[in-house]
């Protein structure tokens, strides 16, 4: 993808996120990884984060960083594309300002984050907004100490290829087609980089990461079954294909 087009998409997404951000304050934040996924309380992927230095890619309103603070993380760092989200995160995390560093900017670029400084870098349901996955992963790799952990979650690539039409599920797109596409659930212009699961895995390996775990498990509770069947993520669809996935890896 041409660099000028990537920059256009970043600006487009920033504008849209600044407008819609209030709808997403506090949504999909640790201990939740994403729709129908097991939670961190069940998975314990991070382990003990006490005295760890952590960085969140796509920190949003700061709720996942607040979770890390509650677990004893020694320093809280975050980057997000949206000014609105960063402002909200500063307010939410005001009690932790002495150990807080937040940056507004795209995840593809380093806004002043130190190299080989972090024990843990993570991203909760944000990585799919990157317009350049290899560049984003190179940045993440550079931020981590040797032996550091990178954990991220995102919508499963199968999810928007298959549509629910009443009681039927229809394949609407080829799984093999990759590239930027309009974010379907949004009314505003916003571009997501549609990728295959193998692309995420191979790009992680190419960047130097060692993959420890890939999670596609689906958890459907009775409470979820009573939910709205017209929303983007439904239990009927999740019972057939994963709605989301998690990958845990380490810097070699």
Distance CA 118, CA 250 (A): 12
Q: What is the pLDDT of residue 78?
A: 98
Kindly compute the dihedral angle of the four CA atoms of residues 15, 19, 25, 30, in this order, to the nearest 10 degrees: -20
pTM, full prediction: 0.94
Give the helix/strand (H/E) hosting 91: helix 83-92
* Other residues' Cβ atoms within 10 Å of the Cβ of residue 133: 19
Identify the CATH number of the domain in which residue 175 sits.
Answer: 3.40.50.150
pLDDT at position 223 is 57
* C-alpha to C-alpha distances, 247 to 101, 175, 213, nearest whole angstrom: 25, 20, 6
In a structure prediction context, what are the per-residue pLDDT tens digits for the chain, which is 252 residues long? 568 889 999 999 999 999 999 999 999 999 999 999 999 999 999 999 999 999 999 999 999 999 999 999 999 999 999 999 999 999 999 999 999 999 999 999 999 999 999 999 999 999 999 999 999 999 999 999 999 999 999 999 999 999 888 888 999 899 999 999 998 888 889 999 999 999 999 999 999 999 999 999 999 986 555 455 558 898 889 999 999 999 999 998
The predicted pLDDT at position 58 comes to 98
Which residues, in sequence order, are bridge partners of residue 180? Answer: 193
Counted domains in the chain: 1
Q: What's the domain range around 99?
A: 3-251
What pLDDT is stored for residue 222 in this prediction? 66
Q: Which residues 6+ apart lie within 8 Å of 40 measured at CB? A: 30, 31, 32, 33, 46, 67
Question: Closest by alpha carbon to 78, among 95, 101, 106, 96?
Answer: 101
């Amino acid at each position: 993808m041409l660099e000028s087009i990537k920059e256009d998409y970043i600006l487009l997404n920033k504008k849209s996120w600044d407008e819609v951000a209030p709808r997403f304050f506090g949504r999909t934040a640790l201990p939740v990884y994403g729709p129908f996924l097991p939670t961190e309380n069940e998975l314990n992927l991070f382990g003990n984060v006490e005295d760890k230095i952590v960085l969140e890619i796509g920190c949003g309103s700061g709720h996942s960083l607040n979770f890390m603070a509650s677990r004893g993380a020694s320093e809280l760092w975050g980057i997000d594309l949206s000014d609105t989200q960063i402002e909200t995160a500063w307010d939410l995390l005001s009690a932790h300002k002495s150990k807080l560093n937040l940056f507004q900017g795209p995840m593809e670029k380093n806004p002043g984050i130190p190299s080989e400084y972090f024990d843990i870098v993570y991203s909760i349901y944000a990585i799919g907004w990157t317009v350049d996955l290899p560049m984003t992963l190179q940045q993440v790799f550079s931020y981590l100490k040797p032996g550091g952990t990178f954990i991220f979650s995102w919508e499963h690539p199968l999810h928007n290829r298959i549509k629910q039409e009443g009681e039927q599920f229809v394949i609407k797109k080829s799984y093999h087609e990759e590239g930027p596409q309009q974010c379907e659930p949004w009314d505003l212009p916003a571009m997501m980089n549609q990728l295959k699961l193998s692309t995420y895995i191979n790009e992680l390996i190419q960047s130097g990461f060692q993959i420890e775990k890939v999670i596609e498990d689906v958890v459907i509770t009775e409470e979820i079954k009573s939910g709205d069947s017209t929303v983007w993520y439904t239990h009927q669809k999740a019972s057939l294909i994963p709605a989301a996935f998690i990958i845990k890896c380490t810097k070699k």
